[in-house]
Structure 1
Amino acid sequence: MRHLQTATLLAATLSTGLMAGLFAAFAYAVMPGLARSSDHTLVDAMQGINKAILNPVFMLPFMGAIPLVGLAVVLAWRGHSRPALPWLIAALVLYVVALAVTSGVNVPLNDQLAQAGDPDRINELGVVRAQFEAKWVTWNVVRALLHTAAFACLTWALIVHGTHQPQDRPGGDAVRQAPAGTAYQAGSSLTAPPPREAQRH
């Protein structure tokens, strides 16, 4: 059970970290770079990115993180990692909220940009850009922060899981029972009483 918990936590942390890094890269590199470009370049680039990103390499960690974190919550609840449970629940909530932002704001904006058509044939590229860029950038920062917070919670949960060990049975193997009829015990300096013949003298 503990090995399954560890593997699930690692997979969930890795998936969430990949998403946090992706959206953060858009926030501090991709979109600031495109902001300096022309209307045609931004619209054309984002249309291309939105098509290219719909592939298994992206979809597997993006959609797979939620069931992985959910399984980690269940295993922690039933296993030996209860101290990590609050951090796992927090990560799950943060990821679900981030997914809601993506599906509720960023994806509709992507679809809106795709419906605008070929940039070479759009008459008012400035209007198309204005309707897309500012809102998309703002909510991308929000989801990047949410994914990063979820990643931090999972990282801490993994640390807690690794440092928390199941409690041993009372006594464990530290003290062993002495054979019946003897007075010797492990770690004791007591010796058996002298024979009765010696006591008579």
Structure 2
Amino acid sequence: MRHLQTATLLAATLSTGLMAGLFAAFAYAVMPGLARSSDRTLVDAMQGINKAILNPVFMLPFIGAIPFVGLAAVLAWQGHSRPALPWLIAALVLYLVAFAVTSGVNVPLNDQLDRAGEPDRIAQLSSVRTQFEARWTTWNVVRALLHTAAFACITWALIVHGAHQPQHRPGGDAADHAPAVTAYPAGSPHTAAPSRDVRRR
């Protein structure tokens, strides 16, 4: 069971970290870069990104992190690495809030931008950009912070889990059950006297 929890924690850490890195990259690189571009470039780029990102490479960690973190919390609650449980619960709550931000704000804004049509056919590109850019960017920063906090919690849970694993000494069970040997100095009354048969020889 410990091996199952370790594997689950690793999967949860990896998937949560991938999402934190993705949304953080949009916050400090992609959107600031597009902010310096023209209306047509921003609208065209974001429409292309919104279509391209809907693939298994993105969806698997984005959705899969939730059952991974949830399963790790259940295993911890059952008694395997119980000290990691509070951090797992915190990570799950933070991730779910971030997931709600994406589903409730960023995705509807993406859909709204797609419905505006192709940039060459949009009469008021500046208006479309204004309705999309500021709000999308702000809430992306919010979800990036939430995902990063969730990643920090799940990483610490993994560390706590590793710290509370039983330590195996060289020799395994044989070393645990070996009879204790006490050394006494020569001439001590505790030293066993040689048998009479030995002395006769």
Q: TM-score range by the shorter chain?
A: 0.7 to 0.9
**CA RMSD in angstroms, aligned pairs only:** 1.9
User: 1:113-138 deviations in whole A, cap 9, x for unaligned?
Assistant: 00000110100000000000000000
Task: Tell me how far apart the structure 2 counterparts of residues 45 and 194 of structure 1 sit (CA, whole Å).
Answer: 93
With 186-195 and 85-94 compared, the bigger mean Cα shift is at: 186-195
The aligned counterpart of 2:68 is: 68
Structure 1 residue matching 2:44: 3-state secondary structure: helix
Structure 1 residue aligned with 2:182, among 182, 187, 191? 187
Matches within 5 A, 1:44-55: 44-55=44-55
User: Residues 176 and 193 from structure 1, CA distance in 2 versus in 1: closer, same or farther, beyond 3 angstroms?
Assistant: farther
**TM-score, normalization: structure 1?**
0.86
Structure 1 residue matching 2:123: 3-state secondary structure: coil
Task: Tell me how far apart the structure 2 counterparts of residues 155 and 175 of structure 1 sit (CA, whole Å).
Answer: 37
Runs (5+) with no aligned partner, structure 1:
178-184, 196-201
Task: Tell me how far apart the structure 2 counterparts of residues 5 and 134 of structure 1 sit (CA, whole Å).
Answer: 41
The aligned counterpart of 2:23 is: 23
Runs (5+) with no aligned partner, structure 2:
185-189, 196-201
Task: Tell me how far apart the structure 1 counterparts of residues 148 and 165 of structure 2 sit (CA, whole Å).
Answer: 28
Output the amino acid matched with 1:186: V
Contact 1:80 1:166 in 2 (8 A): no
Structure 1 residue matching 2:134: 3-state secondary structure: helix
Matches within 5 A, 1:132-143: 132-143=132-143
Runs of 4+ in 1 over 2 A off after TM superposition: 165-168, 172-177, 185-195
Task: Tell me how far apart the structure 1 counterparts of residues 182 and 10 of structure 2 sit (CA, whole Å).
Answer: 42
**TM-score, normalization: structure 2?**
0.86
Task: Tell me how far apart the structure 2 counterparts of residues 188 and 78 of structure 1 sit (CA, whole Å).
Answer: 44
Task: Tell me how far apart the structure 1 counterparts of residues 149 and 182 of structure 2 sit (CA, whole Å).
Answer: 51
Output the amino acid matched with 2:181: A
User: Residues 192 and 176 from structure 1, CA distance in 2 versus in 1: closer, same or farther, beyond 3 angstroms?
Assistant: farther
The aligned counterpart of 1:123 is: 123
Identity across the alignment (%): 82
The aligned counterpart of 1:96 is: 96
Task: Tell me how far apart the structure 1 counterparts of residues 191 and 79 of structure 2 sit (CA, whole Å).
Answer: 45
Give the count of matched residue pairs.
185
